[in-house]
Amino acid sequence: MDSVSSVSSSSIAFTSAASNPFAPSKVDRAKPIVVAFPAKEKKANEKRRVSPLRASGMGGLETGKEVKLWGGRFEESVTENVEKFTESISFDKELYRQDIRGSKAHASMLARQGLMTISERDSILEGLSEIERRIELGQFRWRADREDVHMNIEAALIDMIGEPAKKLHTARSRNDQVQTDFRLWCRDAIDRIVPSVKHLQVALVKLALKSGGIIVPGYTHLQRAQPVLLQHYLLSFVEQLDRDIIRLQDCRAKLNFCPLGACALAGTGLPIDRSMTSELLGFTAPLRNSIDAVSDRDFVMELLSANSIIAVHLSRLGEDWVLWASEEFGYITPSDSVSTGSSIMPQKKNPDPMELVRGKSARVIADLVSLLTLCKGLPLAYNRDLQEDKEPTFDSVKTILGMLEVSAEFAQNIVFNKERILKALPAGHLDATTLADYLVIKGIPFRTSHDIVGRSVALCVSKRCQLQDLSLNELKSISPAFEQDVYEYLGVENSIKKFSSYGSTGVECVAGQMEYWVNKLGI
């Protein structure tokens, strides 16, 4: 036992299958083993639950709770409640690819700077690759007593290759390590979201291509306003999604700076090369200020803000299509493949996917609010509160990807009911503004024209007819400016033909917009 007591906790290595994360475990980890020590150390170590982690000469002993990699100054291990409350491995294991990638870059830099040997670097790189392989095969045991993804991977590496692995954390803190992992993860997430946004854009443009010539009522205040081409309406969402892409790309560019080497907050006196690790990880450059490097979460706020705006856009699309699928509108019919039924009403066919798109926008927005609230009162620099930034971010990305995917699928599986739309068009005097433009062309000031057309609509309301149904004499009784050519402006079809301004719903304008998007999206 004397040989055991002479070994410090920092030089321990795994020697039992029970403490090996790759080996099947029969150990009840809820019952930690207290190792016997010489009398002079017995009292302290009765409080400090010691495992064979990083120990030599302790083969065959079972273990419960390990001495932490940071446990050198502690005399007692944390309680089970504290350990359960503070662990993050249950969710931050999502970062394992980025953590391993960052560690490989860090090891390569340390070797070039003479802070580890080439042989040690190679052992570390090989060990990290093996750990990644086992994680992806489901053969890696994540341990809550190792707290987080960083400690799980580092401890497993120590188990696997021994002493060289203990050099990996040289000139690195978990503060800059998690920042590096998280920036890499968010960058990867953006690279997944952008193609999904483009996929929905393509679906909408293809739907528009099949909807040529269809006119629908345009609404303001949820009241009928003016006629618009259905293609124009669909392309309005394509434009919104394009701004979403620009926001994501801008977020990617701003987050693409490397915090690795900032350490806890003050940097290091060791001769590291932060530019090398930055380049190896595909970052633009190292972050200039080490305090900012470990405390900044702007990039996450921006990503979740961009996701929230996407969610709002999709929710508005969902709202329209849920309404349009109702019996009151009847503008669209979703296929059975994107509809659900009722458990009690046999006739029901519900556009549930778009209802849930509308509903899930709330959780994406809530994820952003959660993060903003989390960060609003934090002092510099790093605080453990920031552990709570992962789950809302993971949830936001997962949810927005699902919303984009199902919205595109819904767009691919609906048909517009032309006859129902055509039947609905006459109501609402959609051509009233075009009639006012007619009077402006005749030289009448717009405010006067507005009044004349208002009185014309009032006459239609009293007669329960449309503007095009009024006789020329009836129109002249309101204003002598009306001539026979006024009927070239009345009716939704004639009204659409009169739009000509850039970006308008005119036939030629919309044709130009369609051509632009077909070419840009490579359809």
Q: For this structure, is 169 an active site residue? A: no
Q: In angstroms, rounded to a whole number, what is the distance separating the alpha carbons of residues 193 and 402?
A: 10
Alpha-helix runs per DSSP H in 214-264:
230-255
Strand partners, 408: none
HSE (side-chain half, CA atoms, 13 Å) at 195: 4
Q: In angstroms, rounded to a whole number, what is the distance separating the alpha carbons of residues 252 and 188?
A: 9
* 186 φ, ψ (degrees, to nearest 5): -65, -40
Burial of 445 (0-12, 13-18, 19+ CB in 10 A): exposed
* Among 8, 335, 342, 500, the one annotated catalytic: 342
| CB contact at 8 A, 396 and 305 | no
Q: In angstroms, rounded to a whole number, what is the distance separating the alpha carbons of residues 227 and 234?
A: 14
CA angle at 193 for the pair 189 and 194, rounded to the nearest 5°: 120
Length of the chain: 523
Alpha-helix runs per DSSP H in 350-506:
352-375, 390-411, 418-424, 432-441, 446-463, 472-478, 492-498
Which residues lie closer than 8 Å to 341 by C-beta, 6 or more apart? 348, 349, 350
Q: In angstroms, rounded to a whole number, what is the distance separating the alpha carbons of residues 106 and 120?
A: 13
Q: In angstroms, rounded to a whole number, what is the distance separating the alpha carbons of residues 462 and 278?
A: 74
DSSP state of 486: G
| CB contact at 8 A, 413 and 444 | no
* Among 3, 221, 471, 501, the one annotated catalytic: 221
| CB contact at 8 A, 339 and 356 | no
* 55 φ, ψ (degrees, to nearest 5): -110, 150
Q: In angstroms, rounded to a whole number, what is the distance separating the alpha carbons of residues 54 and 130?
A: 20
Q: In angstroms, rounded to a whole number, what is the distance separating the alpha carbons of residues 138 and 296?
A: 33
Could you give the 3-state DSSP secondary structure of residue 201? helix
Q: For this structure, is 221 an active site residue? A: yes
Q: Which of 63, 44, 42, 41 is nearest to 52 (CA)?
A: 63
Tokens representing 133 are 């392989």
Tokens representing 231 are 């293609």
Tokens representing 495 are 């009204």
Radius of gyration of the chain (CA): 33
Q: Which of 180, 179, 187 is nearest to 387 (CA)?
A: 179
Q: In angstroms, rounded to a whole number, what is the distance separating the alpha carbons of residues 339 and 321?
A: 12
Q: In angstroms, rounded to a whole number, what is the distance separating the alpha carbons of residues 423 and 461?
A: 19
Catalytic residues: 221, 342
